[in-house]
Structures are given as structure tokens and as C-alpha cells.
Amino acid sequence: MTTDNVSQTADIPQTTVHSSQQITDAYAYCRQMVRSHYENFPVASFILPKRLRQPISVIYAFARTADDFADEGDWDAGTRLTKLQQYDDHLDAIANGETIDNPIFIALADVIEKHHLPLPLFHDLITAFRCDVNKTRFTNIDDVWDYCRYSANPVGRLLLHLMNAATAENLERSDAVCSALQLINFLQDIEQDFVENNRIYLPQADLQRFGVSEEHFRTQRSDDAFAQLLQQQITYAREKMLFGKPLGRAVTGRFGFQLRLMINGGLRVLELLERQQGNLFSRPRLNKRDWLWMFLRSL
């Protein structure tokens, strides 16, 4: 399943197999999920054009529940993979125009049909969540970027398709921004990923290069070696973000402003990570002054 073809769209039948009431109820279900599970995802943002909030809430509901299959609860790996396979099967059912007894997929089928969204992008997200179940270490930075191709980049591409702005250049820059944001998220959650899920998203090749062992993660050792490791990851993320930064001006209107806010937010977090002293495992927090800086830069 790839997402490289700009014109790639879902082959969805033009006739709806669910009643209008079922579709209305399904959208309401997804909106309620957004209200109860809102995170760092541009779902309920007042900045977004109103017409996009409903389809984005459906995409969020799909991604949130699939992510929970991979990470939440006490299921074993086999159960998690089975649940993710059911989501893949539901996507195939959408492609075949079949009835699905699941509110998220009832709404998703409607969104995909109305906005001509590429189905492979949703399969890609499932691939990433499946990876979360099966993989806890990454060989090198290219291995990390390959994970981002499935975990983060599809979200940016779906948003561009919703905006009818999915040109080849925009998609390339969106991939860079999304990959950078994903790596920044890893850098903020180093402790949580290791303690809760035994995951290290930082490349093993860089750990060896700077003399960092897993003992650093177990004991949260914030020494010069770990600082150098973090600086290398910051450099990777900043290069990606700066390459993708022109996307914020290529896309106009309120969505363009939302993009610029996310890009400037990512760059600000990288600055805070660089300034960290003492505990390099702590999560940087954006304060009011940071948000004001981001808002003014985004304008």
C-alpha cells in the first residue's frame, strides 16, 4: 500500500448503502468521540474552516480507535492484530460498497465518497498501528522516516485532499512537516514510550554512534552522550520541518494559518528541547509567551 501517486483516489461506489439516519447518527458518534478524546490533532480547532470539522472528526475517530487497539488495554499482541485486521477488512468493505455495522465506518464511507479520499491512506495508518504492536526498535533514521510514512504522513495527505490542495509539491512538503512533527513527538515522549511500551523510536545506529545504551533509558541518565543523541534528532527534525515550511504559505485561508501554527509550534518545541538542562527526558511545555510567539509568526 503506497501513497506516492498524487491522483490516487478511492474507487468508491457513488450509491450509499446506509440510510440517511444511520449516517447522521454515525457523524454524531464521531463528534462525541472528538469531544471526549481531543488531543494534539486539529479536529475541533476554531481556526479550521467549518466545512472541514465534521470530516476531520471522522478521520480522527478512525485513527484514535485504531491507535487504541495498538496501545491501550490489556490485550495480547494477537488480539491487537486481530482488531486491526478487522479495520482493514472494514476498509475493504467500503471499497466494495458493502454495509458496515460500525458508526465510525458508516461515517467514514460517506466522507471518503463525498471528498474522494484515497483509501490506501487509511490502510497506511493501520500499517503503522500494526508496526506499533510488532516493532519496538528502529535501525536508523531512514527506518524512522519509513515508519512516519505510514503513521503521520497519511494524515497530512488526507487534509490536503480535503482542501483540494493535493498537488505533488504540497504532498512532498506535507510529508516533511508530518514526519518532523512525528519525530518531535517521539522526543517529547521518550520516557513514556520506554516505560509504558518498551519502545525506543530513536535510531539504534545513533545510539551506538554517541555511546548511548538502553541503561540511559532505564535510569534516565542525562549525560553528554544522551545530549548529543538528542541534538542529532533535533537536527533531523528541523531539516524536515524547514523543507516543509513553505507549505504554510502555499495553502491559503484558515487552513493555511492552522498549518503555519503547527509548523511554528514544532520549531518552538525544538528550541525548547535544545535549551533543556538537567533532565533530558522531561517534556517541554509551551507557555503563554510561546503561544503568542507562534501566533504572531503564523500571521
Q: What is the pLDDT of residue 208?
A: 98
Residue 65: half-sphere exposure toward Cβ, Cα within 13 Å: 20
User: In this structure, what CATH number is given to the domain that contains residue 24?
Assistant: 1.10.600.10
Q: What is the mean pLDDT of residues 108-116?
A: 95
Is 1 inside any structural domain?
no
Is 172 inside any structural domain?
yes
Domain's final residue, options 104, 134, 164 = 134
161 and 294 together in one domain: yes
Judged against a pLDDT cut of 70, whether residue 284 lies above it is answered with yes
65 and 105 together in one domain: yes
Is 3 inside any structural domain?
no
156 and 299 together in one domain: yes
C-alpha 98: how far from chain center: 28
Q: What is the pLDDT of residue 42?
A: 46
Neighbours of 96 (CB within 10 A): 11
Please give the Cα distance from 14 to 239 (Å, whole number): 42
113 and 150 together in one domain: no
148 and 284 together in one domain: yes
291 and 215 together in one domain: yes
For cell 495527505, the residue is 157
249 and 159 together in one domain: yes
At 4-35, the pLDDT tens digits run 444 444 444 444 567 888 899 999 999 888 87
Q: What is the pLDDT of residue 47?
A: 66
Q: Whole domain around residue 109: which residue ranges?
A: 17-119+129-134
For cell 503521520, the residue is 152
111 and 140 together in one domain: no
**Hey, what amino acid is at 6?**
V
Is 7 inside any structural domain?
no
279 and 194 together in one domain: yes
The model's confidence at residue 43, banded by pLDDT at 50, 70 and 90, is very low
Is residue 258 within 8 Å of 45, Cβ to Cβ? yes
165 and 275 together in one domain: yes
Which class for 97: exposed (0-12), middle (13-18), buried (19 or more C-beta within 10 A)?
middle
The C-alpha cell at 288 is 503563554
126: CB partners within 8 A, 6+ apart: 66, 84, 87, 88, 91
At 143-157, the pLDDT tens digits run 999 999 999 999 999
Question: How many domains would you assign to the chain?
Answer: 2
Is residue 249 within 8 Å of 261, Cβ to Cβ? no
115 and 142 together in one domain: no
Q: What is the pLDDT of residue 45?
A: 58
At 192-230, the pLDDT tens digits run 999 999 999 999 999 999 999 999 999 999 999 999 999
254 and 147 together in one domain: yes
Backbone φ, ψ for residue 203 (5° rounding): -60, 135
